[in-house]
Amino acid sequence: MTRTFLTQNRSVFWFLLALGIFALIVTVLSEAAGNGMISTSFVKTLGKTLCLMLVAVAMDVVWGYTGILSLGHMAFFGLGGYMIGMWLMYARTEIIVTESLLAAALPPTPQEIHDSIGTQIFGVVGSSQFPAIWIFAHSFWLQIAMVVLVPGLLALVFGWLAFRSRVTGVYLSILTQAMTLALSLYLFQNESGLRGNNGLSGLQNLPGLDDVPQSTLSIAFFWASAAALGLGYVLFAWVTSGKFGSVIRGIRDNESRVRFLGYHVEGYKLFVFTLTGIVAGIAGALYYPQAGIINPNEIAPIASIYLAVWVAIGGRGRLYGAALGAALVSLLSSWFTSGAVPSVPLGFYTIQWTDWWLVLLGVSFVAVTLLAPKGIGGLFDLISTRHTIPERVGDFGPDKGARRTVEGEEEK
Amino acid sequence: MKTLLEMSGVSVSFDGFKAINNLSFRIGEPELRAIIGPNGAGKTTFMDIITGKTRPDEGTVIYGEKSISLLKMSESQIAMAGVGRKFQKPTVFEAQSVRENLAMALKNKRGPFDVLLYRKTKRGAERIEELAEIIGLTDSLPRIAGELSHGQKQWLEIGMLLAQDPRLLLVDEPAAGMTPAEREHTTDLLKRAAEKHAVVVVEHDMEFIRRLDCRVTVLCEGSVLAEGSLDHVTSNPEVIEVYLGR
């Protein structure tokens, strides 16, 4: 089955090959396992980029294949990050607290340890009580389960409510924006139990691995991210190929026609929305330990809009396009905003790229949408000899053979 | 001939305009029925009601041996119960191949998980070949449906309708955009389908209906004006007045 799957989806093979080669090159040039040409912080940037590519591939399945323009998928990404961050903070604080309490005359009770972890974590928001949502934070495996369950459940409930009411098109996009905005505003409150606008920090320090240098950890996370991207790519390539892919593309192009064929369209949308939400959560759980910090700003509406921009620039409706778009735009973005790009003096005005990058991004987004709707991925059509989807879609009406106005007579 | 579908006292209005006005209609299985009527008579709305696209304001629609009401079912449930529809404008999935279009319509389980784990079967492939043969698109199976001519799209949609293996076929203007030979072929196809199933054909072309040689229902202003053989209804003065006399 794998054999036929790979032969029918050549892009999967090439994508995995390119990803593997890229990962090897980065490893060889890294500080941890190679000659150190690539700094640890840049390895982290590349690892984070792989996570963004994964969420972009998921976005492409929702938008490019199923036609649901979700502008809220970064909420699931952020939630995944929060879920892993809770365990990271708890476990690391636990180690520190236990060590410091060892010096005390009496050995600390578990309750004392728990309380002082609470004081350490929530002191910053003037509290020391563990909110109820931290109930699983002590257990790695339970919290890992939360990485999947919390974004998945939110996507499931939100999707069920939205799709059963047959909210579609721009109204659905607005609804998803409202969802991510509401979630981020809620998390900004100290009462939300996730440290308000401070967010969760120190996530780059893995509990119990203080002796392992960040250069090694960064490569480990880089490989984990690459593996997740590879697996996610194969998963989505499998989902979008075959009959399921046929049905969801049908939903994108003509939803009601699919309904009249007997398919429960809402069920399909919900399936895709939830599955991609879960994958976005997993991507987030790999991203934020590399970023080191997560706060509610990460799930502001703009984040999800960026996600849509990456996919649009990369090319909707093809998974590698979305992945390339995310990689290119997010790397360019960090380059332009780092201040490393020389300013352009115009005499009367100096273009500072840190300020003008967004303008450049906006212009390229509009340009791609208008001039090259297939995006970067469309470039591959130039080198591919395979039959591509024709431009011609939509109804062209009856042609010469059509006779509809004359009634009651027949050509002999 | 047992009754397959029975509509009674169905009315529906859009913004005060009564598209369907106290319509009653019955079709057995097997039966072939043609529906004619001037523009705006409510032919498309009639099909929309049966397929669940439009909910009537009042009336009942009863279907099958168990006399289930179609009014409580969603479009996909109605389709799964055995009601297939061919639209007036050919609506095929233009970005997908002819084979994919037919495969999607094939009678199979329709749940997301069933479809995700669906494996191509030999029987399915044979059925697709068989349908392609019937609709004359055997050579076009790998082609993208968007490249087909208007007439071929009509054929493809008829093929998709047959692939669903429905008990009640609602066919809206099947002959539009077809050459005379193709129309003859369509007539044969519909007649053959009507040997086992219930087939409702909406058509403007009188010659086409004459060749179908079946009972005709004339719709006008949302209700049944006359019913009977073609000769019977065309000699009805009321029918001549509203429809044929213009």
The pLDDT assigned to A392 comes to 43
User: Is the model's pLDDT at A154 over the cut of 70?
Assistant: yes
Test A260 with B51 for CB contact under 8 angstroms. Answer: yes
Calpha distance A87→A98 (Å, rounded): 16
Q: What's the confidence (pLDDT) of residue B117?
A: 87
Whole-number pLDDT of residue B121 = 84
Q: Do A392 and B207 touch (CB under 8 A)?
A: no
Burial of A241 (0-12, 13-18, 19+ CB in 10 A): middle
A406 pLDDT more than 80: no
Record: contact B182-A401, CB cut-off 8 A: yes
A5 pLDDT higher than 80: no
- What phi and psi values does residue B201 have, to the nearest 5 degrees? -115, 125
Confidence of residue A37 (pLDDT cuts 50, 70, 90): confident
Question: B101-157 pLDDT, tens per residue?
Answer: 999 999 888 888 888 888 888 888 999 999 999 888 999 999 999 888 888 888 899
* CB atoms near residue A334 (< 10 Å): 15
Distance separating alpha carbons of residues A160 and A335, to the nearest angstrom: 40
Residue A400 reports pLDDT greater than 80? no
Question: Cis omega (within 30 of 0) on the bond before B112?
Answer: no
Residues of A with CB under 8 A from a CB of B: 239, 242-244, 246-247, 249-250, 253-254, 256-265, 267-268, 271, 387, 389-390, 392-399, 401-404, 407-412
Task: Give the mean pLDDT of A98-121.
Answer: 85
pLDDT the model gives residue B205: 81
Please, which pLDDT band fits residue A310 given cuts at 50, 70 and 90?
very high
How far apart (Å, rounded) are the C-alpha atoms in residues B167 and B81? 8
Q: Find the range with the poorest average confidence among A79-88, A97-106, A140-149.
A: A97-106
Using the beta-carbon criterion (under 8 Å), do A257 and B105 form an inter-chain contact?
no
How high is the pLDDT of residue A105?
77
Mean pLDDT of A183-187: 95
What is the average pLDDT value for chain A, to the nearest integer?
88
Nearest CA in chain A to B39: A405
Q: Which of A246-260, A366-380, B174-188 has the highest mean pLDDT?
A: A246-260
pLDDT of residue A405: 46
In DSSP terms, B218 is beta-bridged to: B36, B226
Chain A CB within 8 Å of residue B141 CB: no
Top pLDDT among A411 and A314 is at A314
Question: Is some CB atom of chain A closer than 8 A to the CB atom of B116?
Answer: yes
- Looking at the partner chain, which of A250, A262, A409 has a beta carbon nearest the beta carbon of B76? A262
Is B149–A399 a contact, with Cβ atoms under 8 angstroms apart? yes
Q: Do residues A397 and B153 lie in contact, with contact meaning Cβ atoms separated by under 8 Å?
A: no
Report which of B193, B196, B201, B197 is spatially closest to residue B170, judged by C-alpha positions.
B201
Note whether B90 contacts A: Cβ–Cβ < 8 A: yes
- Distance (Å, whole) CA B74 – CA B51: 8
Task: Please judge whether B76 and A268 are an interchain contact, meaning their C-beta atoms are less than 8 angstroms apart.
Answer: no
Q: Where are the domains of chain B?
A: 2-244
Domain B2-244 has CATH 3.20.20.140: no
CA distance B130 to chain A (A): 19
The answer to whether the Cβ–Cβ distance between A249 and B95 falls below 8 Å is yes
CA distances from B112 to A151, A160, A197, A269, A271 (A): 20, 15, 40, 9, 7
Per-residue confidence band for A6, with pLDDT thresholds at 50, 70 and 90: low
- Is residue B161 a contact partner of residue B86, using CB atoms and an 8 Å limit? yes
Angle at A50 between CA A194 and CA A234, to 5 degrees: 110
Smallest CA–CA distance, residue A175 to chain B, in Å, is: 24
Cα-trace Rg, chain A: 25
Residue A251's φ and ψ, nearest 5 degrees, are -65, -40
What pTM value is reported for the model? 0.89
Query: Mind listing the pLDDT tens digit of every residue in chain B (246 residues)?
Result: 788 999 999 999 988 888 899 999 999 988 999 998 888 888 889 999 999 999 999 999 999 888 899 998 999 999 999 999 998 888 899 999 999 999 999 988 888 888 888 888 888 899 999 999 988 899 999 999 988 888 888 889 999 999 999 999 999 888 877 888 888 888 888 898 899 899 999 987 888 888 888 999 998 888 898 899 988 888 888 888 876 555
Residue A401 has its nearest CB partner, among B89, B93, B178, at B178
Phi, psi of A294 (to 5 degrees): -135, 135
CA distance B96 to B140: 12
The more confident residue out of A391 and B84 is B84
* pLDDT of res. B87: 86
Whether B14 has its CB under 8 Å from any CB of chain A: the answer is no
Residue of B110, B160, B205 lying closest to A407 (CB–CB): B205
Question: For position A242, what pLDDT does the model report?
Answer: 87
Residue B24 parent element (H or E) = strand B17-29
Say if CB A314 and CB A330 are below 8 A apart: no
Contacts of A374 in chain B (CB under 8 A): none
Top mean pLDDT of A180-189, A202-211, B135-144 is at A180-189
pLDDT score of A7: 64
Contact at CB, A402 and B85, closer than 8 angstroms: no
pLDDT at A235: 96
Whether residue A86 contacts residue A137, with contact meaning beta carbons closer than 8 Å, is answered with yes
pLDDT of residue A338: 84
